[in-house]
Amino acid sequence: MLWPARLAGPLDGAPLDAVADAILIGLVLPVLVAIDRRILKQSSVRILIVVLLAWKATLAAAVVQDGWCLRFTSPTPLFVNQERVPHAWDVRADWRSDVPRCSAIMTRGYPTIDRFPVWFYNLPPANWLEPAKENERPPFVTVAVDVHGYLQSGGAGTFRVRVGQDVAMTATIDGAAIDAGALASGVSLPAGTHEIALSGTMKGERWALVPEWEGEEVWQSAAATMAVPSAIDRALRPWARWITPLLAGALLLLGAAGLFKRVGDRTVVITSIATSAIAAATVGRGIVMRAMPLALAVAAFLRIPRRLQNVFGIQLLIGLPFFVLIAARGFEEIGRTTWYTSGDDWWLFQRFAYRIYLEGYWLEGGEPSFWFQPFYRWIAGALHMMFGDQSVGELFWDGACAWSGAVFAFHVTRVVAGFRSGVAAAILTLLMMTIGPGWYLLGRGLSELTSAGLIYGAALWTLRGRSSRKYTLIAGVCLAIAFFTRLNNLMFAIAVAAFCLPISVQAGDWLRWRSWWPKVSKPALAGIIAAIAGSILLFSLRTYYYTGSVNALSGTQASARSVWQPTDAGETTAENVIGSLLMVLTMNDPARIDPRSFPILIGLAAALLGLAGVKRLRELPLNVSILCVAGIAGAFVARGSAYPGRFSIHLIPVTVALTICAVRLVLPRPRQTPHRP
């Protein structure tokens, strides 16, 4: 699905810069497969996959690439390598070349500045430690633009180029010069194939560049290609462009049909569709959108078949509507270049991603030693390669990481307190992420959500790994990446080893190691230890390669952010430690009482009391309690700054789970029949 088709159109593959592509390929397809991997085992789906693969291979051999070569030239050098011909995030262009012939492939008109593939204006200056200056970005710069391609039509017509007020454009058509006035009013061309070359400059911010044939964009009314089409190409092109969207659409429909067939319950299907519609209707509605997870509480009052009272069922009842909410939030971003605020972490991660993927510094990653958290820059670059200049892919990714935490909260709560309590835990987890101070972090392009999502996923895989080494391997990979993504989550990642125990082992029994040690999955424990140790070793080797130091933390912010030192404001070490702890627990910086943080406070208190053996609370799961305590351990080592809620996001799922479990254990009412872990 991601392989770019030679013929442009709906569902034509990367970059996913159209609404249908971004939503259906970038979000719906991964969600369908994540909910039910059995979709990929359907014979009809496998046949369609093979046919789609063969069809795209046929197009690659038989037809030329749709679109025109779009090349930008900056009057001043850009970024570290002093390049003047920048790359766009377009896998169809020659993105591996140091000096690309095409910055991007133009397969649609650009009516406004944010529709142009000019993400590279996030790159200046060449010194990455300096923020960008006003005169390095629109509207204070002038960039040269060249477009080259071929136009083919079966009949005579008029070719014109609609440009913005700040765009000056001339052309040559079949070698004949065309001035700006004639190009804007229209040039009559006979039937056949014509070589088009546009050249001009863009300044200010009133940009537009829309080539038209007979009053419509050339890609809708004629064939606009990178090279002269062959006879086979001309024979295929009139009808072949519809085959890719038909095959891709059929693949999506079969997957969705297979999913709902497996559900086999009308109530669940109707509820999922209805709440998804509500989520879609909240687009652009501010606080209503943020409070939307409250509508998902209806799932707790339905009569759900026991076979659906599991992760599969919860992904339909809560997961699908939540991802619709994520899509609604990102709808306006699709197909638009993201302009980053200069000088912050978000901006720097993107610049590092450009250096990795488009300049080829795969191991260096932008820094010899990682002053900024390491791995998210590789993730951001991969998302840009899929979604292009826009950042909606990062929103989808962050949504998936938030959902990983919600699934964790649901599963452990369901085991301890029953299905409805698990539903409440999943909803409260999502609600704290949407109405809490960390709402803006979704799609922001930082490392906290990614690391947390991977760790919670690793915990669930470790539980499954107690009976399968395959899942232990997956958990180990997730933990290694989670550590690389956010170094100060190391203790949090190590605590996942506790999930080599079943959830039924109680927190109050942690000192009675002879009772629970036989229940530990030794292969899973060995796999988790090997993954953590291996990731630290690999990180140390890379640091040594670039710095000569064997200290894995060499060059990082470890010393600068340490809480065990006086602050510039004159705070003592004790005040610094307490301030760091309260910042995490209250989700605010500086710390203040916030009702939205109460589940974190209650959950941590419940974990500590459970480990202390307090009556009833001692029945809380040992592994979940250990994970919670490990999650707060980082606050005693280093203190983050800026971005309210950023350093608390990883605690939300585990503390919510403990809060709901504690309430169910303490309240004098019969519990639901617990599920087996």
The confidence band for 627, taking pLDDT boundaries of 50, 70 and 90, is: very high
Question: In the numeric block, which tokens belong to residue 119?
Answer: 């993400």
Q: Is the pLDDT of residue 319 over 90?
A: yes
pLDDT digits (tens, 9 = 90+) for 191-221: 999 999 999 999 999 999 999 999 899 988 8
Dist. CA 213–CA 220, nearest whole Å: 9
pLDDT at 315: 93
pLDDT at 49: 95
Range 542-547 contact pairs with CB under 8 angstroms and sequence separation of 24 or more: 542/363, 543/369, 545/363, 546/364, 546/368, 546/369, 547/368, 547/369
DSSP letters along 383-434, please? HHHHHTT--HHHHHHHHHHHHHHHHHHHHHHHHHH-HHHHHHHHHHHHHHHH
* Separation of CA 441 from chain center: 11
On whether the CB atoms of residues 6 and 64 are closer than 8 A, the answer is yes
Contacts of 373 by beta carbon, 8 Å cutoff, 6+ apart: 447, 485, 486, 487
Dist. CA 505–CA 620, nearest whole Å: 8
In 3D, which of 487, 492, 491, 426 has the Cα closest to residue 455?
Answer: 492
pTM of the entire predicted model? 0.93
Dist. CA 517–CA 510, nearest whole Å: 10
pLDDT at 568: 65
pLDDT at 567: 65
Residue 52: exposed, middle, or buried by beta-carbon count in 10 A (0-12, 13-18, 19+)? buried
Dist. CA 271–CA 295, nearest whole Å: 11
Question: In the numeric block, which tokens belong to residue 672?
Answer: 């639901």
On whether the CB atoms of residues 145 and 209 are closer than 8 A, the answer is yes
pLDDT digits (tens, 9 = 90+) for 597-614: 999 999 999 999 999 999
Residue 581: exposed, middle, or buried by beta-carbon count in 10 A (0-12, 13-18, 19+)? middle
pLDDT at 80: 73
Q: How many residues does the chain have?
A: 677
On whether the CB atoms of residues 56 and 3 are closer than 8 A, the answer is yes
pLDDT at 317: 93
Mean pLDDT within 521-550: 92
In 3D, which of 405, 435, 409 has the Cα closest to residue 594?
Answer: 435
pLDDT at 644: 82
Residue with tokens 């080599």: 500
Mean pLDDT within 347-369: 90
Residue 421: CB atoms within 10 A of its CB come to 23
Quote helix, strand, coil % in the chain, to nearest 5: 55, 10, 35
Residue ranges of domains in the chain, CATH in brackets: 19-62+241-257 (no CATH), 68-228 (2.60.120), 264-333 (no CATH), 393-666 (no CATH)
Dist. CA 505–CA 467, nearest whole Å: 17
Q: What's the whole-number average pLDDT of the chain? A: 90
Amino acid letter, residue 231: A
Q: Is the pLDDT of residue 570 over 90?
A: no
Question: In the numeric block, which tokens belong to residue 54?
Answer: 């063969």
Dist. CA 233–CA 599, nearest whole Å: 62
The confidence band for 669, taking pLDDT boundaries of 50, 70 and 90, is: low
Q: Is the pLDDT of residue 299 over 80?
A: yes
The confidence band for 661, taking pLDDT boundaries of 50, 70 and 90, is: very high
Q: Is the pLDDT of residue 524 over 60?
A: yes
Q: Is the pLDDT of residue 371 over 60?
A: yes
Residue 106: exposed, middle, or buried by beta-carbon count in 10 A (0-12, 13-18, 19+)? buried
The angle formed by the CA atoms of residues 362, 365 and 366, to the nearest 5 degrees, is 135
pLDDT > 90 in the chain, percent: 64
Mean pLDDT within 245-268: 91
Question: In the numeric block, which tokens belong to residue 558?
Answer: 């470890």
Amino acid letter, residue 191: A
**Phi–psi pair at 317, nearest 5 degrees:** -75, -35
Higher local confidence (pLDDT), 56 or 127: 56
pLDDT digits (tens, 9 = 90+) for 1-34: 999 999 998 999 999 999 999 999 999 999 999 9
- Region of 250 please: left (phi>0), alpha (psi -120 to 50) or beta: alpha
The confidence band for 671, taking pLDDT boundaries of 50, 70 and 90, is: low
Amino acid letter, residue 600: I
**Inter-axis angle of helices 392-417 and 652-666, to 10 degrees?**
20
Q: Is the pLDDT of residue 631 over 70?
A: yes
The confidence band for 551, taking pLDDT boundaries of 50, 70 and 90, is: confident
In 3D, which of 446, 516, 389, 368 has the Cα closest to residue 113?
Answer: 389
The confidence band for 550, taking pLDDT boundaries of 50, 70 and 90, is: confident
Residue 45: exposed, middle, or buried by beta-carbon count in 10 A (0-12, 13-18, 19+)? buried
Q: Is the pLDDT of residue 163 over 70?
A: yes
pLDDT at 674: 55
pLDDT > 70 in the chain, percent: 97
pLDDT at 670: 54
On whether the CB atoms of residues 423 and 317 are closer than 8 A, the answer is yes
On whether the CB atoms of residues 408 and 401 are closer than 8 A, the answer is no
pLDDT at 481: 95
Dist. CA 321–CA 396, nearest whole Å: 13
Contacts of 115 by beta carbon, 8 Å cutoff, 6+ apart: 108, 109, 335, 336, 337
In 3D, which of 98, 218, 249 has the Cα closest to residue 152?
Answer: 218
Q: Is the pLDDT of residue 640 over 80?
A: no
pLDDT digits (tens, 9 = 90+) for 460-498: 999 998 888 899 999 999 999 999 999 989 999 999 999
Enclosing H/E stretch for 184: helix 180-185
Mean pLDDT within 375-400: 94
Residue 130: CB atoms within 10 A of its CB come to 11
Residue with tokens 């629970």: 516
pLDDT digits (tens, 9 = 90+) for 389-432: 999 999 999 999 999 999 999 999 999 999 999 999 999 999 99
Residue with tokens 């995030």: 89
